[in-house]
Amino acid sequence: MVNVLVVGDLMIDHYVWGSCDRISPEAPVQVVNIKNETKRLGGLGNVISNLKTLGSEVGVISVVGDDDVGDEILELLKDRGAKTELIIKEKGRKSSQKSRIMVAHQQVLRLDTESVCEISVSDDIISKFENILSRYDIVLLSDYGKGVLSPYLTKEIIRITKKSGKMVLIDPKGKDYSKYSGATLLTPNKKEASEALGFAINDEDDLKSALKMLKDKFKLDYSLITLSEDGIGLLDQEVKKFPAIAKEVFDVTGAGDSVLATLGYCLASKMSLEESIEIANLAAAVVIGKVGSADASWGEIENLKSKKSGFERKIISLSELLRVGRSGKTMVFTNGCFDILHFGHISYLQSAKKLGDMLVVGLNSDRSVKELKGEDRPVNAQSDRASMLAALEFVDFVVIFDEDTPLNLIKALKPDILVKGADYAGKKVVGSEFVREVKLINFVDGKSTTNIINKIKG
């Protein structure tokens, strides 16, 4: 399990959704009829959400106000499954909340309530930081310029983290990067890097100069600049560009947070920097293909990486499936040969899907079927059987296993619900010790692959 410690500005993204069919008689403004409101973590919360979706354990250090919004932030952190290592409520500080008025999916107004000033409790954080750090693999700093990452605190976090031999990655803010000196790497975009360095990045020579200046001036281990549709530029021993994945852009919101989170997760998993950047590029491509701040799951990343489309994206390996974030979803697992797909199978799998959110089907390999059913089986090869299952709307993932039983598969996945046929009543179900619940489903009378084969032979 990867453990990531994050530090930075927490806030609430508050959306007020409504409709408008008239202009106010008092002023030339829209009259919005409020339908509903939604709230989610913003700022550092976007990084946390991305990390949780990737499957990381996340510890959080931040400062909020001693107010109702601060209480809501703590509740949202708890709901997201993040560990609040150190959240200080600073008296007199206003917690950040950005309220957006949305009409017909268009933002018509934003109202910000927040304090934008340096925190006064840096020493309290520093005194506890080294002990907290010992439980984590890497540190990510997400600076939104609200004052949590003051120059003093930022420098001390970098010093302590690097002294411990761990990496510290930073999404910077503002034009003065001096407080980030000594970090492992920064993740500015081209516009941010241009403003910090004082010159525009227009071509390859400018990019090389900017990357070198960032590395030398701020004593970074690696120099990196995100280049929007052109991907990511890196200076290690030499300049290398990682091209972006071609994808329709709906909203760039949260792409930077996704890059930071994915880089941090991959590097903490001992992947190389280049491999980590390639995966971060894929994550960013997933995120910009969605509306609003969003996360990229391992399933989405792997799909884009392999450029699979349609039902093919559902056929994955166990290692790939383990990287698919459940995000609180109930996983239902069942298994079988599914040699000749028939109505009995359809009815059984539909019933299984209704028990949870995600249906995973373990499919016996050709060797496994032959061992269980005899030399004349399977009738259909495993690739065909997997494709038929994956084409069903209610099947989320298909994983082929080669053993006689799915014991190892169930042990690794630890699904919430294990489903078998009603003929298992009173019998020991393989893998039941690794699940929360076993459910038995009745078969449709007279519907079986064996009956179909016998009918054809007859």
Asked if residue 414 belongs to a known ligand binding site, the reply is no
119-146 residues labelled b (16+ CB within 10 A) or e (exposed)? bebbeebeeebeebbeebbbbbbbbbeb
Query: Would you call 373 exposed, middle or buried from its count of C-beta atoms within 10 A (0-12, 13-18, 19+)?
Result: middle
Distance CA(283)–CA(295), nearest Å, equals 8
Distance CA(16)–CA(408), nearest Å, equals 47
Contact 116, 82 (CB under 8 A): no
> By C-alpha distance, which of 111, 51, 112 is closest to 83?
51
Distance CA(126)–CA(40), nearest Å, equals 28
Distance CA(296)–CA(261), nearest Å, equals 10
Query: Would you call 261 exposed, middle or buried from its count of C-beta atoms within 10 A (0-12, 13-18, 19+)?
Result: buried
Distance CA(95)–CA(387), nearest Å, equals 51
Distance CA(397)–CA(5), nearest Å, equals 31
Q: How many CA atoms are closer than 13 Å to the CA of 75, on its beta-carbon side?
A: 9
Instruction: Respond yes or no: is residue 205 known to be catalytic.
Output: no
Asked if residue 192 belongs to a known ligand binding site, the reply is yes
Helix (H) or strand (E) holding 43: strand 30-43
Asked if residue 303 belongs to a known ligand binding site, the reply is no
Q: Which of 9, 13, 143, 257 is catalytic?
A: 257
Tell me the one-letter amino acid at 47: V
Distance CA(125)–CA(53), nearest Å, equals 27
Asked if residue 229 belongs to a known ligand binding site, the reply is no
Distance CA(294)–CA(13), nearest Å, equals 12
Contact 283, 304 (CB under 8 A): no
Catalytic center residues: 257
Write out the binding residues for ATP: 189-192
Write out the binding residues: 189-192
